[in-house]
């Protein structure tokens, strides 16, 4: 994203989606780096909170870089198990000042959350998807976790006006997980595959769904498989399920049902032509 003027991002939290790690990228995987650049001589990039309580997104390995003469970070900027870069390492003088404002949170911690990322392959490899020829993209190490500052000046604000001190968090905690289906005596078909197979995660509730290009596939082991039939913000009302309070839940691709506490949701055959948010289970 590039502008010659100013730009302000306001939200509960700002974070990049999961995708191939920058430090181990392959030609077939889109780089996870999301670049925000303001090129005007006095341009300002700002982040602000909307006042809602932040939560840990199911995103991992993403990266965001902000380049501008002035950067005001007053919101919640997250890249769980990923990278946040302020300024340009090749031109640090191009950023005059980076301000971490009172109440801001800048974090690459996963904060104890279990996040889907890639998958095991066989007994020895960990992969993130396949290239266009079907060759697995092997990951040699977990994504790097860093917060970097490149500029002439950095201000980290203390508590002010009832807002807490600016918080920078590179703490440990949390984990990545991946799943591999192996055909055998227990079955020959992965029942979580399919364009009409979904999941709900009670801890997510009706918040926005995570975005992971691999998890969006109806069969993550096949790069040419169709995406799961979900639109942004689709939800479902569920009731009468033991252990699950009646309510509205955000629909996720089926393989999120492997997360602890999650539920698999399928659309009955006679309801296949109705949108998922109109179905109950």
C-alpha 251/C-alpha 277 separation (Å) is 8
Residues 255-264 have a mean pLDDT of 94
Distance CA 228, CA 213 (A): 11
Closest to 85 measured CA to CA, from 40, 32, 25, 41:
32
CB 181 within 8 A of CB 221: yes
Sorted by where each begins, the domain ranges of the chain are 2-113+142-175, 186-281
- Residues contacting residue 162 through CB under 8 Å, at least 6 positions apart: none
Provide the pLDDT for residue 280.
45
Backbone angles phi, psi at 24, to 5 degrees: -145, 45
Contacts of 187 (CB under 8 A, 6+ apart): none
pLDDT(141) > 90: no
Instruction: Tell me how far the alpha carbon of residue 203 is from its chain's centroid.
Output: 16
- Give pTM, 2 decimals: 0.87
With beta carbons less than 8 A apart as the criterion, state whether 82 and 139 touch: no
pLDDT at 32: 67
208-226 tens-digit pLDDT? 888 888 899 898 878 788 9
Residue 159 to residue 168: CA distance in whole angstroms: 14
What phi and psi, each to the nearest 5 degrees, are found at residue 254?
Answer: -55, -35
Which of 197, 194, 204 lies closest to 249, judged by CA?
204
Residue range 169-188, pLDDT digits in tens: 999 889 999 988 888 887 88
Does residue 115 carry a pLDDT above 80?
yes
Q: Is the pLDDT of residue 25 over 80?
A: no
What value does the mean pLDDT take over residues 24-32? 54
């Amino acid at each position: 994203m590039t502008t010659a003027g100013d730009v302000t991002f306001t939200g509960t939290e700002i974070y990049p989606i999961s995708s191939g790690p920058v430090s181990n990228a392959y030609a077939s995987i889109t780089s996870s780096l999301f670049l925000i650049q303001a090129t005007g001589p006095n341009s300002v990039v700002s982040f602000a909170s909307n006042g809602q309580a932040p939560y840990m997104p199911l995103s991992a390995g993403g990266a965001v870089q902000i380049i501008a003469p002035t950067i005001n970070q007053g919101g919640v900027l997250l890249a769980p198990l990923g990278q946040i870069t302020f300024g340009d390492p090749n031109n640090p003088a191009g950023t005059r000042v980076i301000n971490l404002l009172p109440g801001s949170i800048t974090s690459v911690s996963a904060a104890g959350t279990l996040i889907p990322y890639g998958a095991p392959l066989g007994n020895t490899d960990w992969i993130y998807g396949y290239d266009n020829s079907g060759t697995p993209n092997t990951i040699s190490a977990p994504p790097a976790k860093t917060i970097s500052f490149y500029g002439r000046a950095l201000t980290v604000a203390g508590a002010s006006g009832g807002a807490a001190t600016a918080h920078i968090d590179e703490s440990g905690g949390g984990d990545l997980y991946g799943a591999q289906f192996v055909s055998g005596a227990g079955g020959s078909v992965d029942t979580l595959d399919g364009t009409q197979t979904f999941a709900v995660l009670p801890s997510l509730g009706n918040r926005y769904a995570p975005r992971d290009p691999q998890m969006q596939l109806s069969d993550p082991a096949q790069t040419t498989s169709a995406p799961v039939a979900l639109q942004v913000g689709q939800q479902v009302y569920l009731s009468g399920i033991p252990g699950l309070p009646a309510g509205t839940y955000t629909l996720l691709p089926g393989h999120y049902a492997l997360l602890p506490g999650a539920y698999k949701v399928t659309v009955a055959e006679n309801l296949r032509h109705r949108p998922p948010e109109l179905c109950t289970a």
